[in-house]
Amino acid sequence: MVAIQQPRLYASYPSPDGKWRVDITIYDCIKIRGGDEAGSYKYSYEQLILMDPATGEQQLADDQLIACGGLGGYGFDGRFWSANNRFFYYTNAREGGPDGCGGYWSPPFMRLDVTDLITTYLGIGPRSPDEVNIADQLWNDQESRNELRIWDIEGGESTRLPMYVPDVLMIGPIAWSLDGQRLVYIQVENSCPVSGKSYLVLVDVTTQEQTLLLVSESPTFGGVEWNSINVLSLFDENGNEWRYNLLTHELNQIP
């Protein structure tokens, strides 16, 4: 498939020092396994290529074969470089989303280490506002789905914590404090649809201490944002917004 058409360049991402460049190339959908229409399949193919601009040397770092018109998340997209030029962060789900219903989802982070071309799946979660860490949770990994991980963007995994309530699926999202020193996450009993008891947990990144802030079943909370210093925005199973005050522990619905 790759040999019979030329790829198109989707995007290029030079490293901060200019010594590396990551190119994402796409081979658009073509029909393979010829024959009649019923026996044919269309696929596209994407490559994530690490290039040395000084020499022109290219190395294939990651690739993806995509069934055109299929379900799920697919496609590469760059996110950012670490300041030390060692790690390139990207996603393998530029378009689409997971099959099924309910539960929070966002495109996961992947990480390329340019020193050895090793790619690591970090999972679903946001980068801290101070751009120091990424917090993630492997919602689809049976062994690690009950763990919260915090990655040092310049280095590696720095913290691994058990979820506050064992064996309760976290649907997220994870939300960072404005200074990047704390985060909150939500666990909920049922994610399809969002229902049952929901748990709001605060994590102090420095001390790794976890504090249960709230347990609620009516309503069930499935989303959280941290846009003010001491106030959280919570979203219930019906999409209603609530405000939780971290100082007074008051919870109020927004009209």
Tens digits of residue pLDDT in 144-180 = 567 889 999 998 777 889 989 987 766 678 999 999 9
Q: Is the Cα dihedral 240, 246, 248, 249 positive or negative?
A: positive
Residue 107: give the domain boundaries.
1-123
Domain closes at, from 108, 123, 138: 123
Nearest to 216 by CA among 192, 249, 248: 249
Q: Are 87 and 106 in contact (CB under 8 A)?
A: no
Per-residue pLDDT at 2: 46
Q: Rounded CA gap, 65 and 70, in Å?
A: 11
Classify the C-alpha dihedral 90-96-98-103 as positive or negative.
positive
Q: Are strands 175-176 and 157-162 parallel, antiparallel or unpaired?
A: unpaired
Q: Cα separation of 41 and 45, whole Å?
A: 13
Read off the amino acid at residue 235: F
Residue 192 is part of a domain; what is its CATH number? 2.130.10.10
Note the pLDDT tens digit of each residue in 96-113: 887 766 567 789 999 999
pTM: 0.88
Chain-centre distance for alpha carbon 7: 27
State the sign of the Cα–Cα–Cα–Cα dihedral 164, 79, 231, 103: negative
* 99 and 113 share one domain: yes
Of the residues 70, 95, 123, which one is the last residue of a structural domain? 123
Q: Do both 134 and 197 map to the same domain?
A: yes
Q: What is the pLDDT of residue 123?
A: 86
For 184, the 3-state DSSP assignment is strand
